[in-house]
Amino acid sequence: MIELGVLKETIRKFMEMLDDVGKEASLGRLGKQAKTDMIMYCLHLMSSDGRYTDDETALINHVFEEYDFTPASVKFFVEENGLSSGIFAGDVPPSLTACVALDNAVRQYEQNAMSLSHTLTGIYLELGKYVIASDGELDVRERDDIVGYVRMMADYVENNLEFSE
């Protein structure tokens, strides 16, 4: 795993870049959408073992500083928004859909451009590792959820990019 501070800074810079690209492409605040998607993913992973701990919420509050989640608020939000269900696990994050579209548009002009969609998928993998490790107890459901979600994202990228890495 990469160091948490490095991951946090990578997420911050990536969201800023997405906001800039989104403005240029008249797509709005893609960084804000990416942050929302990442938080929902983290909350989904937190629900995998049925426990919501102070360590898990402290991690999310540290990475996404403007939030102040508690185990009770996470549990309520997860239940109200169906984040513990298999339905969420099969939904492609809107920010990934946008990144794939941008990658396809940019690659028409610049073959060596950085892949936003691959970068975002990598961020999800690293962030997920921290979420499932944060409570000190790795549950098989947590592992299955992170692997399944990141695989779903990678499959979406592979099936929708018009170029290959």
Higher pLDDT, 151 or 25: 151
Query: Does pLDDT of 139 surpass 90?
Result: no
Tell me the pLDDT tens digit for each residue of 7-17.
Answer: 999 999 999 99
Amino acid letter, 70: T
77-113 pLDDT tens trace: 999 988 887 778 889 999 999 999 999 988 877 777 7
| Contact between 44 and 124 (Cβ < 8 Å) | no
Position 163 pLDDT exceeds 80 = no
Range of the domain at 26: 4-160
- pLDDT for 81 equals 86
- AA letter at 121: T
Both tokens assigned to 163: 């170029």
Q: Is the pLDDT of residue 126 over 90?
A: yes
Compute the mean pLDDT over every residue in the chain, rounded to the nearest whole number: 90
pLDDT of 41 higher than 70? yes
Whether residue 165 is contained in a domain is answered as no
What pTM was estimated for this model as a whole?
0.91
Angle at 83 between CA 125 and CA 139, to 5 degrees: 55
3-state secondary structure 68-89: CCCHHHHHHHHHHHCCCCHHHH
The pLDDT assigned to 62 comes to 96
Number of domains comprising the chain: 1
Q: Is residue 21 part of a domain?
A: yes
pLDDT at 73 over 60: yes
| 118 inside domain | yes
From the centroid of its chain, how far is CA 158? 17
Which is higher by pLDDT, 161 or 112? 161
Query: What is the predicted pLDDT for the residue at 66?
Result: 86
Please tell me the predicted confidence (pLDDT) of residue 164: 57
Nearest to 65 by CA among 14, 125, 12, 16: 12
